[in-house]
Structure 1
């Protein structure tokens, strides 16, 4: 039993027992009745909250497709064993399920099938509508039209000590779709997910939650509870639970949930549409201040280096500058700077308060796109034109596929080219960088699409292959 449970039960027990020690029999009976009423009220609030939400929680199974000819058991059969199990939350009556992106299986995603089991014991095949690896969120879609969407609350008002309830599918016991419940308190807020020690140094913290977003709770979150609902006593979801700590081998009593806040809601809305979730990118390597500086009252994130050609460089942010605030909100360390910028949408104009050589200056960079890491899934791509998909040049900043193009050159990178499309016939290939459209420089997908929007005929694209090789490609109308 967790510390918070013992504390709550101890308080209730003391309320019942103390009356017999210090009060008269009549007073003791009255106090006991009051104590029982208080306990019953808490109990009933939990029962009501669970009843209000459990129809919105589903079980998810991931099965790796068998390459042999032998038919694998289907969901519902007693010998059905998924490769991975998790939880999901209904966010739309017409079959949209929210879960964690890490549930999709990473490298095994393309060879995996997904199934969703509802509380009505119905199992549906599911397809992935969109996935956001940086936010660790994904939306699945099933052929159902009568689901019960969960009511979303807000994590902004959460306080340490608040009672919360976790609904999920621990150890895949929800084969019949019946979610299990555990309860505890909000132990802390703005917690950081532990680094992924299996990743390379540059990718040890691939999600925004590694910089301090998470709700910490002592509600039991075992394997399989990733993608479940963390609810308050009103029956509102205030967080999406993740068992990634249990997967990584961290202390089992520490459970975490992604908070329902503005960043979460923005991401979920994009995923429901099948679109990519994009995060702001400044282009700096920040570091914490020295311990002696902090003891003297200093705060902020010191810039260790600036990537040439990025928003930080164009805004004249310099090495050894100290960022002390982002959009008026104080920044205490490097992680807070990364989080404050990363939460903002791409092409946000952000105000940075910077201490430089003892003076305070304000800089206003226009954010680019944070590099994509992990399994991105998009079914509705906005940045498609004549069979090719484009993206920000910074989207593959640290990837091996990125051509050696100075970011200061600007442009957009070609992400995909459909076979037999107009772009393919124009000899466009993935990883090419387009810097001009009919002589007009473009710096972002929006600028590119605006430039080609009213051009029904052939369009000339200027490429950057090397400083001395900037050929043109003509893309005919489809």
Structure 2
């Protein structure tokens, strides 16, 4: 009898110890748990304490590096008043308009990224830091196609935000929007939300906001927005979208609203696009935009109707599609990167360097991360079979308002080509790089002219456009150019990279 009692007590004791051990291990376990739904698909759910949405660290990390951007735009106008014109003539009058937005410090020496529509046509840009210090800013470069602009203030040791990876963002992930909504008085405002969608375009009709107005006036627009439900209002444009770690994952750009105020959703340019744009503006003075050379359509009921299928299901069956992820290649540019690689009209583009293509916006986002002459492996579906091709991207036909022909390179608003033999012979030269055309940019401002043959950049002889680009890229602060003008005279000029 005593032996049985002892056995029972030992069993109870061991059971209690086991239960305690399980409880403690569960409390301390930071590893993800897994659940299986009715479909049999296993989903990972991370229930560790670190995954709860405490956003204080992210906010405290981001706020010091987000600035208020005040803008002055001077406009000319003509008074429609006969009495005034009789006494004062037809002299145009000027008036100043004030605007504002936000910006993000990306380098401690004063480089700040914002939206192009914030600083477009500005005659004066003033930046106010989180500590209330004010600086006049210079516009380094703009890219209307992505609505990104780079400005700079003369300061050192500034707080910055580390770049994250926007490709890693997940639907439902917590994010913060930091900026100055509705003006100066609401500087350093932080709002929270989740990632509602990725790869969004802005084909929403006439929603009234500055980005949409700019979009309608600019032929090229590259859009693959991060959509969030973090509250964003006028003045937030150019501000930071950050993840829980306080890393920059996007630049807040637009809202969709009927009245111009926040009504549920906001849109940000992914930081992976931003990094490439600002890097090009710092290194080259213009954006080196890669081109794949295709026209494309999303896989959708509208496409099925256009291709005369009975339904989208009929299209999927006959094209042997397992899903509607991917894009239909409607046209392939003659002599373009895709055609040279072997891509055909009617192929379904599935991925680029392993990056899964879901729609046209995602293709734009990925292609925009490359430079001309970069290579990538693309996967397409053709006749129900997957095929891979290696493409070498080409350069866009237009950069910063200057046309760039085949074999030419954009450089600070100018188009450059290797000087032809007859041009070199005309001036008795053995080498040189010719300026074929000029648009707005540093070269024009410094005094360059069309037809100029560049001989030296920072005292280094140049033979090809890429030589010019490489020397300038390696220059720390300034670029000095020596060349010969069309009338045979020597030309010397320079400009700062900042």
TM-score (norm 1): 0.62
Match of 2:334 among 285, 295, 308: 308
Deviation at 1:374, TM superposition (A): 7.6
1:18-417 matched pairs, under 5 angstroms: 45-65=54-74, 83-105=98-120, 109=121, 112-174=123-185, 178-194=187-203, 206-209=220-223, 212=224, 214-246=225-257, 249=260, 252-261=263-272, 263-273=273-283, 275-289=285-299, 290=304, 291=312, 292-294=314-316, 297-298=320-321, 300-356=326-382, 361-372=387-398, 389-390=414-415, 414-416=437-439
* Native 8 Å contact 2:117 2:214 kept in 1: no
* Native 8 Å contact 2:99 2:118 kept in 1: yes
Higher strand share: 2
**Residue 395 of structure 1 corresponds to which residue in structure 2?**
none
Gaps of at least 5 residues in structure 1 are: 1-37, 69-80, 377-381, 393-410, 429-439, 451-455, 460-472
1:442-457 matched pairs, under 5 angstroms: 445-446=465-466
Deviation at 1:421, TM superposition (A): 6.8
Deviation string 1:270-306 (CA, Å, 9 cap, x unpaired) is: 3344632222112221224422323665154333223
Query: Aligned partners of 1:275 and 1:420: how far apart in 2?
Result: 13
3-state SS of 1:340 partner: helix
Deviation string 1:41-61 (CA, Å, 9 cap, x unpaired) is: 979x43443233222111111
RMSD: 4.5
* Native 8 Å contact 2:229 2:266 kept in 1: yes
Cα distance change of structure 1 residues 304 and 224 upon mapping to structure 2, 3 Å threshold: same
Query: Aligned partners of 1:420 and 1:116: how far apart in 2?
Result: 26
TM-score (norm 2): 0.60
Deviates more, 1:334-343 or 1:217-226: 334-343
Cα distance change of structure 1 residues 206 and 199 upon mapping to structure 2, 3 Å threshold: farther
Query: Aligned partners of 2:488 and 2:396: how far apart in 1?
Result: 29
* Native 8 Å contact 1:87 1:168 kept in 2: yes
3-state SS of 1:52 partner: helix
3-state SS of 1:285 partner: strand
3-state SS of 2:61 partner: helix
3-state SS of 1:121 partner: coil
Query: Aligned partners of 1:390 and 1:364: how far apart in 2?
Result: 28
Cα distance change of structure 1 residues 346 and 118 upon mapping to structure 2, 3 Å threshold: same
3-state SS of 1:318 partner: coil
Cα distance change of structure 1 residues 129 and 165 upon mapping to structure 2, 3 Å threshold: same
Cα distance change of structure 1 residues 322 and 48 upon mapping to structure 2, 3 Å threshold: closer
Count of residue pairs the alignment pairs up: 362
Cα distance change of structure 1 residues 196 and 145 upon mapping to structure 2, 3 Å threshold: farther
* Native 8 Å contact 2:436 2:451 kept in 1: no
Identify the structure with bigger relative contact order (alpha carbons < 8 Å, sequence gap 6+). 1
* Native 8 Å contact 1:240 1:257 kept in 2: yes
Gaps of at least 5 residues in structure 2 are: 1-47, 78-95, 207-211, 305-311, 403-408, 418-433, 455-462, 471-481, 492-498
Query: Aligned partners of 1:67 and 1:201: how far apart in 2?
Result: 24
* Native 8 Å contact 2:353 2:376 kept in 1: yes
Deviation at 1:352, TM superposition (A): 3.0
Query: Aligned partners of 2:281 and 2:367: how far apart in 1?
Result: 21
* Native 8 Å contact 1:134 1:206 kept in 2: yes
Deviation at 1:311, TM superposition (A): 2.4
Query: Aligned partners of 1:301 and 1:427: how far apart in 2?
Result: 44
Please say which structure displays the higher CA radius of gyration.
2
* Native 8 Å contact 1:281 1:368 kept in 2: yes
Cα distance change of structure 1 residues 98 and 48 upon mapping to structure 2, 3 Å threshold: same
**Residue 8 of structure 2 corresponds to which residue in structure 1?**
none
Cα distance change of structure 1 residues 353 and 156 upon mapping to structure 2, 3 Å threshold: closer
* Native 8 Å contact 2:381 2:387 kept in 1: yes
* Native 8 Å contact 1:226 1:242 kept in 2: yes
Query: Aligned partners of 2:469 and 2:179: how far apart in 1?
Result: 43
* Native 8 Å contact 2:115 2:148 kept in 1: yes
